[in-house]
């Protein structure tokens, strides 16, 4: 008997089209939640994309952990604990521990990949049925 565990693969989990909700200048698009098996109590890990365009600052208070990696543009993050605004550009990484309070903004547009310790909140559009092995799952080219 093997202790090997199969991977979870989402086909076509691209960021080619993530619509902003009406009247909003930022959104998250979650891919999939996986329960960890590395602790006594499984915890959720969800990944997805964050998109923001110019507009009002978007406050966020963290009751979970998050890591963001900027892929395109610029995302400004005001750390309310220090009063410092960090200007994140492609290749920059930010970690938000539980208890963080920030405001996200941009003067143009920004796009980031994130991983969070919470279940899916806002599902990525058009991903239903794309988990490998699901009927009709295929990559978007």
Asked whether residue 140 is domain-assigned, the answer is no
Q: According to the model, what pLDDT value does residue 1 have?
A: 55
Asked whether residue 60 is domain-assigned, the answer is yes
Structural domain harbouring 76: 26-116
Asked whether residue 49 is domain-assigned, the answer is yes
Integer angstrom CA distances of residue 40 from 6, 37, 116: 20, 8, 19
pTM: 0.81
Asked whether residue 13 is domain-assigned, the answer is no
**Total domain count, the chain:** 1
Whichever domain contains 72, its CATH number is: 2.60.120.10
Asked whether residue 127 is domain-assigned, the answer is no
Residue with tokens 């003067």: 107
Average pLDDT estimate for 54-71: 96
Q: According to the model, what pLDDT value does residue 67 have?
A: 96
pLDDT at 30 over 90: no
Asked whether residue 125 is domain-assigned, the answer is no
Beta-bridged to residue 29, according to DSSP, are: 49
Average pLDDT estimate for 18-35: 85
Residues 66-123 pLDDT 10s: 999 999 999 999 999 999 999 999 999 999 999 999 999 999 999 999 999 999 887 7
What are the backbone dihedrals phi and psi of residue 20, each rounded to the nearest 5 degrees, phi first? -85, 140
Q: Rounded to an integer, what distance in angstroms lies between the CA atom of residue 124 and that of residue 48?
A: 8
Q: According to the model, what pLDDT value does residue 140 have?
A: 42
């Amino acid at each position: 008997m093997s202790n090997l565990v199969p991977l979870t693969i989402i086909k076509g989990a691209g960021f080619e089209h993530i619509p902003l909700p009406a009247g909003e200048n930022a959104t998250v698009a979650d891919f999939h939640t996986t329960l960890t098996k590395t602790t006594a109590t499984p915890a959720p890990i969800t990944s997805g994309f964050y998109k923001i365009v110019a507009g009002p600052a978007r406050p966020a208070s963290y009751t979970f952990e998050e890591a963001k990696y900027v892929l395109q543009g610029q995302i400004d993050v005001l750390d309310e604990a220090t009063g410092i605004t960090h200007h994140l550009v492609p290749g920059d990484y930010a970690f938000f521990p539980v208890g963080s309070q920030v405001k996200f903004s941009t003067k143009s547009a920004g796009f980031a990949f994130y991983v969070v310790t919470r279940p899916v909140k806002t599902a990525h559009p058009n991903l239903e049925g794309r988990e490998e092995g699901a009927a009709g799952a295929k990559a978007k080219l």
